[in-house]
Structure 1
Amino acid sequence: MNVVTAQLQESSAEDRISITTSGVVILDGATAHDPMMPTSGRYVDLLCDQLRQRLNSPDGLQAILSSAIESTADALQIRPGTAPSSTVAIVRLRHDAIETLLLGDSPIVIGWTDGSQSILTDNRLAALDLPESREYRARLAAGSGYDRRHHDLLTALQSRQRQWRNREDGYWIAEADPTAAEHAIVRRDPASSVSWVVMATDGAANMLAPLGFSWEQLARLDTSALNDFLSDCHEWEAHHDPDGQLQPRSKRHDDKTVAIIRPSPARSRQTPQRFA
């Protein structure tokens, strides 16, 4: 298994990545806009470590995630509803199969040997279409920028999201309730049919369209070119869309993490296209 990774931590610094001999774990901790809520830095540190310790075990990915969430919650003494949260994306190579798990909006994209792709997404939170989310995006698109009203809307949005967190008619995310793992999106595919897999936090994934990149192009990048891509993402946000008008988003810069996995070792190729 060949793995290429790159990460650009912005001010929140709440992305985490861990690589073992059998797989990759990526977490994207939720930024706490509400000052009454704890930040997710310590949570993702512990959860990532717990997942790394378990990833080479014979247990299924949902069982691994459930156990890791329970151990993390116990260590931090946190309770559902008042705890930090994080997306979870896992890819594991086991017994000639590629296993994937997804909880939250950090997509996993599988490139098949026949040239086709499958994009695994978890859009349960977005599907709630909460009014605060619609309003802050509409305001940004209209040119309001990241003003005080924007911050107040994000605080209100997080409060409303907690009301829907980890319930059947809402959405599921890693937090303090280990049963969330039962609702993760999982699949298992023959490794022989997989050419590559790309994992990304939303801060990186959402930048492909503005920079004119496809998932296949991203999958070809070597470490140096992948770091260049993340730098280009930051530059586009800073200089082409600093107020989130072209691409409405909760904050100007989000953390960005990408992992490219190839079941069989292969030499990465640098794509010459660069953002200008």
Structure 2
Amino acid sequence: MDIAVSVLPARTDEDRALIFDDGVVVLDGATSHGPDVPPASEYVDRLGAAVIARLNRHSDPASALAEAISATAHALHLRPGISPSSTVAVVQLAGDRVRVLVLGDTTVVTGRADGTHEVQTDDRLNELAIPQADEYRRRLASGTGYDEQHRELLGELQRAQRVCRNRDDGYWIAEADPAAARHARIVDYPRDALTWVIIATDGARDTIEALGIPWPEVAERSQADLDALLAQCHAWEADSDPDGRQLPRAKQHDDKTLAVVHL
């Protein structure tokens, strides 16, 4: 494997990309929009290290993630429902197989040997259609910008999301309940069926798609070119869409992470 990683932090700096012996892990910590939940930076640091330690011993990424969530919750004295959370994406080479795990809305794109590609993500949170999510996007599209009402809506949205967190009629995410790992979406590929894999956090994915840049083109970029791409995404947000009218999003700039794996 050849792995290139590019990370462009925003104000919160809660994305992490970690390379281990047989692959890569990407985490996207959820930004807290209220005082009732602490920032996710320490959580993703602990969880990332715990996942890597266990992936070096496990061939099953879900088991590794469950153990890592349990260890992180214990170390940080976390309780379900009122704790930081994070998406998790894993690409793991195991013999002649490539395993992909996705928990939360980080995206994994797999490039096939036949020239096609497939997008894997976990849309369960968006599928809940919580009213505040639709409302803040509608307001941004109408030109209200990132005003005080927008910030209040984000706080209300996060409280509504926590009610639905890690339950069968809601969505699943890495937080304090290791059972979430059993609900991750896992796809297993023959190694010779793939030529490349991309992991993109939503801050990178949404802007890349808004700019119309094809994923196979992203897969061909060098480390320096990936850095330049994320800088281009940041500049587009700042200069072309500072108020989120074209691409309604929670904040002007989100952390952006890309990991490109060539097999």
TM-score (norm 2): 0.99
**Corresponding letter in the other structure for 1:158:** Q
Q: Which residue of 1 aligns with 2:2?
A: 2
Q: Which residue of 2 aligns with 1:252?
A: 252
Determine the C-alpha separation between the residues in 1 that align with 2:210 and 2:157.
Answer: 26
**Corresponding letter in the other structure for 1:184:** A
Kept in 1: contact 2:10–2:253 (CA 8 A): yes
Shift of 1:21: 1.9
Please list the CA deviations of residues 170-214 of structure 1 after superposition, one character each: whole Å capped at 9, or x if unmatched. 000000000000000001111111010000100000012222201
Determine the C-alpha separation between the residues in 1 that align with 2:21 and 2:164.
Answer: 36
Q: Secondary structure at the match of 2:125?
A: helix
**Corresponding letter in the other structure for 2:261:** I
Determine the C-alpha separation between the residues in 1 that align with 2:81 and 2:20.
Answer: 31
Shift of 1:18: 0.4
Q: Secondary structure at the match of 2:119?
A: strand
Determine the C-alpha separation between the residues in 1 that align with 2:57 and 2:213.
Answer: 36
**Corresponding letter in the other structure for 2:245:** Q
Q: Which residue of 1 aligns with 2:148?
A: 148
Determine the C-alpha separation between the residues in 2 that align with 1:58 and 1:71.
Answer: 15
Q: Secondary structure at the match of 1:207?
A: helix
Give the gaps of 5 or more residues in structure 1.
264-276
Q: Which residue of 2 aligns with 1:268?
A: none
Q: CA RMSD in A?
A: 0.7
Q: Secondary structure at the match of 1:100?
A: strand
**Corresponding letter in the other structure for 1:141:** A
TM-score (norm 1): 0.94
Please list the CA deviations of residues 64-101 of structure 1 after superposition, one character each: whole Å capped at 9, or x if unmatched. 00000000000000010011000000000111110110
**Corresponding letter in the other structure for 2:244:** G
Where in structure 2 are the equivalents of 1:38-53 lying within 5 Å?
38-53=38-53
Paired residues in the alignment total 263
Q: Which residue of 1 aligns with 2:94?
A: 94
Determine the C-alpha separation between the residues in 2 that align with 1:238 and 1:172.
Answer: 32
Q: Which residue of 1 aligns with 2:131?
A: 131
Q: Which residue of 2 aligns with 1:25?
A: 25
Where in structure 2 are the equivalents of 1:200-219 lying within 5 Å?
200-219=200-219
Shift of 1:37: 1.2
Q: Which residue of 2 aligns with 1:228?
A: 228
Q: Which residue of 1 aligns with 2:241?
A: 241
Determine the C-alpha separation between the residues in 1 that align with 2:126 and 2:151.
Answer: 19
Shift of 1:59: 3.8
Determine the C-alpha separation between the residues in 1 that align with 2:225 and 2:129.
Answer: 36
Please list the CA deviations of residues 19-67 of structure 1 after superposition, one character each: whole Å capped at 9, or x if unmatched. 0120100000000001221110100000000011111213411100000
Give the gaps of 5 or more residues in structure 2.
none
Q: Which residue of 1 aligns with 2:55?
A: 55
Q: Which residue of 1 aligns with 2:172?
A: 172
Kept in 2: contact 1:23–1:55 (CA 8 A): no
**Corresponding letter in the other structure for 2:174:** A
Determine the C-alpha separation between the residues in 2 that align with 1:115 and 1:146.
Answer: 41
Kept in 2: contact 1:132–1:153 (CA 8 A): yes
Kept in 1: contact 2:59–2:94 (CA 8 A): no
| Residues 1:109 and 2:129 are matched in the alignment | no
Q: Secondary structure at the match of 1:260?
A: strand
Please list the CA deviations of residues 115-167 of structure 1 after superposition, one character each: whole Å capped at 9, or x if unmatched. 11111010000000100001000000000000000000000000000000000
Percent identity of equivalent pairs: 47
Determine the C-alpha separation between the residues in 1 that align with 2:130 and 2:68.
Answer: 30
Q: Secondary structure at the match of 1:174?
A: coil
Q: Secondary structure at the match of 2:58?
A: coil
Kept in 1: contact 2:22–2:56 (CA 8 A): yes
Kept in 2: contact 1:69–1:178 (CA 8 A): yes
Runs of 4 or more above 3 Å deviation: none
Kept in 1: contact 2:62–2:184 (CA 8 A): yes
Determine the C-alpha separation between the residues in 1 that align with 2:41 and 2:260.
Answer: 24
**Corresponding letter in the other structure for 1:115:** G
